[in-house]
Structure 1
Amino acid sequence: MLTFYKRYARTAFDIGLIVLTVFLIMFVSSFLFDIAAPILVGYVIFLIIEPFARFLNRKGLGKTAATTISTLLFVLVVVSVVFLAGAIFVLQLQNLIALIPEYVAKFQEQVMSYVHWGQLQLNALPPDVLQKAQDFSLTLVEKASFMLTSFLNSVFAFVTSIPTLVINFIIGIVLAYFLSIEIDMWKRIAEKRTPNTFKSAYYFLKENVLSGIASYLKAQLKLITITFVLVLCGLWILRVDNAFTLALLSAFFDVLPLLGVSAIFVPWAIYLFAVGESSLAISLLILLAVVMLVRQIMEPKITGDSLGVSAFTILSFMIISLSLFGIAGVVLSPILLILIKALYDHGYLSKWIHLPSEEFQDRNDRS
């Protein structure tokens, strides 16, 4: 055992140093995320409005005027979409929450009818079976109702906690506007004042990390949009109430690796089978199959190898980051994973982590 520790002491130290560096980056980033959220929002908005502002500037319009037009157009589009979609979503979400007790009562009634039927068919059952079945069904339904209500209330609370988001959004727009106007000045300052080591690190991140993240986000946005449109059209065809909200929730679950739209449609279909609405349940399962089939066909064409990291690895790292660093950890975890993969692909990790050479010698070489 002592030989093992001696042999891998340097390796453990190198890995521990990298883990400590990653932890410090996440800790500092989460702290900055908490105190400088409007600045981050402003930078994201800047990335959105800057291409059109530059396009107008190249067409002969002054940079200030071009930035003003691009910012106003962005605000108009966002406000229109958010207010229209948000109003529909909140109203339909309230309807769903209000209907939960009715759905619960209907499900419990159906379960008890099955129990009564079973008791009539099997008279040999002990008399306390009916009572135990009633207690079990009541407990099961209450827990399911509590979980569903809690989830929908959490979504509703998030949607209605708009004031802070609106303030950050307004400040972010102002910051993005001035950054777009002054971006050339900041680039000149950065070019003159930034040390060469930091420049090399920035170019490495830009080529190997930022571009991959941008392409990944674009691909995911396309896939989510496809899922949303398919689910919305399918629910409209089936004449399901609150279709818009259900489609948005499906798109939200579609973002989560290893979950997807099945997290909504499978329990929903089971409930419909239980309450006797088999035709709608079968239709929903067919819709789910169509959505999954289209996603499986489109995903390789849209995403390609933009990330190059497995969904299981991303989800595991996101869960750990969420527990340690909150929302900032979820946002930063894919970035760090892509960075680590880029460092591995370029051979940096093999230089930084010293492995015992005798452990990896080929047996033929030894002989």
Structure 2
Amino acid sequence: MEKPSRKLKKTLLILGVTGAVYISFKYLLPLVIPFLIAYVFALSLRPSALWVEQRCRFTIKKRTITLPLAVIGGVEIIILMIVLGILLYVGGRKLCMEAQLLLENLPGIMARLDQWLMGHCSWAEGILKLPDGYMVDIMREMISKGETAIKDGAMPFLMVNTMTMVKWMIRVTVFTVILFVATVLTLQEMDDIRVRRDNSMFCYEYAMLGNRLMTVGNAWLKTQGTIMMCTMIVCSVGLFLMGNPYFILMGIAIGILDALPIFGTGTILIPWAIFSLVSHNWVRGIGLIAIFIICYFLREIMEAKIMGGKVGLTPLETLVSMYTGLQLFGLLGFILGPIGLLIIEDIVELYGGSCYNSGKEMGH
């Protein structure tokens, strides 16, 4: 039977490590997250930067001149930003065209919606034995009040949140500049950082934490990014085949909504399919259901295949850690929760095992 003192030490160790992880995630992580992201970017750019450096060496008067890794990495980042900007411009232009087309067709859409509602209201009045036009008047009054509320609330909302948007844009700009400079400097000092890390007395802990962060973060981002892109493609192609003029806009919206916690493709596709089937548009209704089924099984299969056993948690542990992380850290907790649980388990196993071994040696 275990001694109570050893159980108490183990309990205090778990509580202490859990508290330390929570404080680190809550207060320390927001301060260092730009530099962690910069380190990951630098690791990603380093192979290509070294390749360019080796092929851009010049010998002048028996002296070898090479381009600094910081310069090469900075140029690569700028090129990536230009390519990304072009893609965003082309995609944004297409989205604006579809949004403009949607606004132009909005009166017709609202008229068809009104006609559909009035028809079903008349049918409901007959079933419920209500006076003719009773439910029609109620629905029209609700729609009218809804439009008035939106118009009355739009301008105050914009006025109140204008400064918030400006502050947010300034913060994003500052974050981007810091991230760019930190990535360039980290790329240049990568070797020195590794030497200091390996010579540190906490080198094992650094390696353990780094491996956990990279494993969980890479698995989660790879899984969600791949699923989101595949969902966007499936939805866009499906809507295009059904002749929807907003197939790109709707495909992107459904893909982003599917990536958000709690929501999913069914948030849009299922009500839309039901509405189409009730309207006797069988082809569109069945097509939307087919898209939903494909996206559902796509997510299930890809999550199981990509995540697999990389994270090292059971499904129940993953669910509990994600929910706890959501409650403590917001949406970012969906990533921080599993990472925190793994770090707690590793540290407790490391130091709990050492305490147990030392206790056995003292007993002997």
1:314-353 superposed matches below 5 A? 315-323=322-330, 329=333, 332-340=336-344, 342=346, 347-348=349-350
**Selected match of 1:300 from 296, 299, 304:** 304
Q: How many residues align?
A: 329
Stretches of structure 2 that go unaligned for 5 or more consecutive residues are 1-6, 58-65, 357-364
Tell me the alpha carbon deviations over residues 173-222 of structure 1, each in whole angstroms, 9 at most, x when there is no partner.
23212221222233334444x3x1x2111111233442342233223322
**Selected match of 2:256 from 252, 258, 262:** 252
Q: Secondary structure at the match of 2:189?
A: helix
Q: Secondary structure at the match of 2:263?
A: coil
For residues 42 and 334 of structure 1, the distance between their equivalents in structure 2, rounded to whole angstroms, comes to: 22
For residues 81 and 93 of structure 2, the distance between their equivalents in structure 1, rounded to whole angstroms, comes to: 17
1:138-149 superposed matches below 5 A? none
Is residue 110 of structure 2 the alignment partner of residue 111 of structure 1? Answer: no
- How far 1:140 moved relative to its partner? 9.1
For residues 170 and 31 of structure 1, the distance between their equivalents in structure 2, rounded to whole angstroms, comes to: 16
Percent identity (aligned) = 17
Work out which structure has the larger RCO, using CA pairs closer than 8 Å and 6 or more positions apart in sequence.
Answer: 1
- How far 1:244 moved relative to its partner? 1.8
Query: CA separation of 1:159/1:52 partners in 2, compared to 1, >3 Å: closer, same or farther?
Result: farther
Is residue 218 of structure 2 the alignment partner of residue 187 of structure 1? Answer: no
For residues 341 and 333 of structure 2, the distance between their equivalents in structure 1, rounded to whole angstroms, comes to: 12
- How far 1:257 moved relative to its partner? 4.9
Query: CA separation of 1:252/1:47 partners in 2, compared to 1, >3 Å: closer, same or farther?
Result: farther
Query: CA separation of 1:119/1:334 partners in 2, compared to 1, >3 Å: closer, same or farther?
Result: same
After TM superposition, the score normalised by the length of structure 1 is 0.70
For residues 235 and 248 of structure 1, the distance between their equivalents in structure 2, rounded to whole angstroms, comes to: 11
**Selected match of 1:131 from 134, 141, 153:** 134
Tell me the alpha carbon deviations over residues 103-161 of structure 1, each in whole angstroms, 9 at most, x when there is no partner.
556435423312312434x4x7254x9636864796599889999x99xx99xx99997
After TM superposition, the score normalised by the length of structure 2 is 0.70
For residues 171 and 109 of structure 1, the distance between their equivalents in structure 2, rounded to whole angstroms, comes to: 55
Contact persistence 2:228–2:258 (CA under 8 A): yes
Partner residue in 2 for 1:56: 52
For residues 107 and 98 of structure 2, the distance between their equivalents in structure 1, rounded to whole angstroms, comes to: 16
Query: What is the identity, as a one-letter code, of the residue corresponding to 2:116?
Result: Q
- How far 1:24 moved relative to its partner? 1.0
- The two structures, once aligned, show a CA RMSD in angstroms of 4.4
Query: CA separation of 1:330/1:88 partners in 2, compared to 1, >3 Å: closer, same or farther?
Result: farther
**Selected match of 1:232 from 233, 236, 240:** 236
- How far 1:287 moved relative to its partner? 1.6
Partner residue in 2 for 1:82: 88
Query: CA separation of 1:37/1:206 partners in 2, compared to 1, >3 Å: closer, same or farther?
Result: closer
Tell me the alpha carbon deviations over residues 332-355 of structure 1, each in whole angstroms, 9 at most, x when there is no partner.
3343244345557xx35976999x
Partner residue in 1 for 2:19: 20
**Selected match of 2:185 from 178, 184, 188:** 178
- How far 1:70 moved relative to its partner? 2.7
Contact persistence 1:92–1:245 (CA under 8 A): yes
Query: CA separation of 1:289/1:178 partners in 2, compared to 1, >3 Å: closer, same or farther?
Result: same
Partner residue in 2 for 1:67: 73
Contact persistence 1:46–1:177 (CA under 8 A): yes
Partner residue in 1 for 2:294: 290
Query: CA separation of 1:67/1:225 partners in 2, compared to 1, >3 Å: closer, same or farther?
Result: same
For residues 31 and 184 of structure 1, the distance between their equivalents in structure 2, rounded to whole angstroms, comes to: 25
For residues 23 and 144 of structure 1, the distance between their equivalents in structure 2, rounded to whole angstroms, comes to: 45
For residues 332 and 248 of structure 2, the distance between their equivalents in structure 1, rounded to whole angstroms, comes to: 29
Query: CA separation of 1:291/1:268 partners in 2, compared to 1, >3 Å: closer, same or farther?
Result: same
Partner residue in 1 for 2:226: 222
Contact persistence 1:270–1:281 (CA under 8 A): yes
Query: CA separation of 1:186/1:302 partners in 2, compared to 1, >3 Å: closer, same or farther?
Result: closer
- How far 1:320 moved relative to its partner? 0.6
Stretches of structure 1 that go unaligned for 5 or more consecutive residues are 1-7, 355-367
Tell me the alpha carbon deviations over residues 52-86 of structure 1, each in whole angstroms, 9 at most, x when there is no partner.
21333355653525434433332232222233334
Query: CA separation of 1:15/1:111 partners in 2, compared to 1, >3 Å: closer, same or farther?
Result: farther
For residues 323 and 110 of structure 2, the distance between their equivalents in structure 1, rounded to whole angstroms, comes to: 34
Which segment is superposed worse, 67-76 or 198-207? 67-76
Query: CA separation of 1:72/1:289 partners in 2, compared to 1, >3 Å: closer, same or farther?
Result: same
Query: CA separation of 1:100/1:349 partners in 2, compared to 1, >3 Å: closer, same or farther?
Result: farther
